[in-house]
Structure 1
């Protein structure tokens, strides 16, 4: 049977898809914020009744061909398409492993060899497993074991620290949703999501939008209490030898104001965080 999660995902993405983004004409008299069910059915070349049954969770598992057509109709990116497949049970799920908590010693050596670059290592739920000195300083002494998504929604100074808090919140929730799709039964992800749903109305609102998108290269803005504004490009790499772990590297544009601020933070952190 079609899973309730798949039905919810289809409804949420239909509501969030602007008609213009898929070649349809929008107008002020539309009663729904996104696409109508019949429009999705037309774009995917399936019957309206069949699509309604999918959204209601009453239809048996759709074929790969139907999923491809729905992904195109809803303008899903590669992450969204993969998430759609996993929810329908047609893509192999990685083992329910967020990445071992032990970080390879050679990876730690590599991370520490970049003293001028903030580096974090996380698992798939964005628990911080390790960081170098500048990575610790960037996140204001953020300790190993804390969670980056919780930091965005629960830290008292999060809205001041993130220059565009809503963008950081959207990206964090979409990345966590993708992680949940890959390991839906993992207790760490369940407890993290449940805790945030109970503690943060903003998280609950964004979680209901059902966006699934991994962290790739992105530009993030910070307002650091010691050095002021920082605009950093974030590179995310999967750790091949330990599936589930990720390496996050933060880079400033050379010769920029942010590069100067990062260098100052490095000088300050060498005194503050080095034993």
Structure 2
């Protein structure tokens, strides 16, 4: 089997690049890009020289690219070709990968309300806890189960701030002291993704003034990344509940994550959770 960097895999990638560019070129008519038709064409779509003109590159160079030859390409040239061929964002990223480059990171909005589809997913996830947070770790949606299980209040607006300042959550979280360093380190890693965004620094500075524990951890400059975690909760009404938490990026809103919690297998968490939510008059669906 060919490895990702073997000659065979490079040949496959060039073949796919050739076929991809030809197929995208064939679907764009001169009228689509404001060019004259120029009479009958043997094949549909733009000619290679027309793509080259639109992209501002040499005809020979574009021909070599479409033929899958081993030539150097830049991000600027790929962007120009993507515009000439009217590529969508997914197609543009695909072109980058076929050309051997990493696609540019999609810009992220500081905060965006969850889409109706994500809200329905979050509601359907009940009776299991779940929430959505933006790139600054602000809550943008929290389901009722998360509020009941983790003690989130209506005044809790930021996941990081709540972790270090919500006394009720801190009491509930069985492994708070062991988890705190990873939480602070993960926020620093996220902040590094957006070096020009001052909001991360503002949040960290304000939180350090309010929480000596966070101030000490933030001063370590540790970084960590994780897409999953285990949360153990000692709930006064339900006893010990253990959840596997999974962080799912939301591609339509870069920087935002959906965090879903599942009762850990081999524990009594599912039964305890259902009993707790019934006590709070939350509907627990029957299996099947």
* C-alpha separation in 1, matches of 2:188 and 2:243: 24
Cross-structure match for 1:207: 218
* C-alpha separation in 1, matches of 2:140 and 2:185: 21
Residue aligned with 2:191, SS? helix
Q: Spell out the pairing of 1:106-125 with structure 2 (5 A cutoff).
A: 106-125=117-136
1:158 Cα shift?
A: 3.9
Cross-structure match for 1:134: 145
Cross-structure match for 1:226: 237
* C-alpha separation in 1, matches of 2:107 and 2:205: 18
Say if 1:94 and 1:182, in contact at 8 Å, map to a contact too: no
Residue aligned with 1:186, SS? coil
Cross-structure match for 1:249: 260
* C-alpha separation in 1, matches of 2:183 and 2:114: 23
Q: Structure 1: which 5+ runs fail to align? A: 1-90
Q: Which has the higher contact order (CA 8 A, sep 6+)?
A: 1
1:103 Cα shift?
A: 0.9
Say if 1:158 and 1:165, in contact at 8 Å, map to a contact too: no
In structure 2, relative to structure 1, the CA distance for the partners of 1:244 and 1:226 (3 Å cut) is same
* C-alpha separation in 2, matches of 1:213 and 1:98: 23
* C-alpha separation in 2, matches of 1:139 and 1:219: 13
Is 1:152 paired with 2:172? no
* C-alpha separation in 2, matches of 1:261 and 1:191: 39
Aligned-residue RMSD, C-alpha: 2.5
In structure 2, relative to structure 1, the CA distance for the partners of 1:249 and 1:120 (3 Å cut) is same
TM-score (norm 2): 0.57
1:95 Cα shift?
A: 6.5
Structure label with greater radius of gyration: 2
Q: Spell out the pairing of 1:163-182 with structure 2 (5 A cutoff).
A: 163-182=174-193
Say if 1:133 and 1:269, in contact at 8 Å, map to a contact too: no
Could you list the per-position Cα deviations for residues 167-208 of structure 1 after superposition, in whole angstroms to 9, with x for gaps in the alignment?
A: 221121011101110112323212210101211121111112
Residue aligned with 2:188, SS? helix
Q: 2:271 aligns with which of 229, 245, 260?
A: 260
* C-alpha separation in 2, matches of 1:259 and 1:226: 14
1:236 Cα shift?
A: 0.6
Say if 2:107 and 2:254, in contact at 8 Å, map to a contact too: no
TM-score (norm 1): 0.60
Say if 1:174 and 1:210, in contact at 8 Å, map to a contact too: yes
Residue aligned with 1:146, SS? coil
1:141 Cα shift?
A: 4.2
Cross-structure match for 1:48: none
Q: After the TM superposition, which segments of 4 or more aligned residues of structure 1 sit over 4 Å from their partners?
A: 91-96
Cross-structure match for 1:186: 197
Q: Structure 2: which 5+ runs fail to align? A: 1-101, 284-288
Could you list the per-position Cα deviations for residues 29-75 of structure 1 after superposition, in whole angstroms to 9, with x for gaps in the alignment?
A: xxxxxxxxxxxxxxxxxxxxxxxxxxxxxxxxxxxxxxxxxxxxxxx
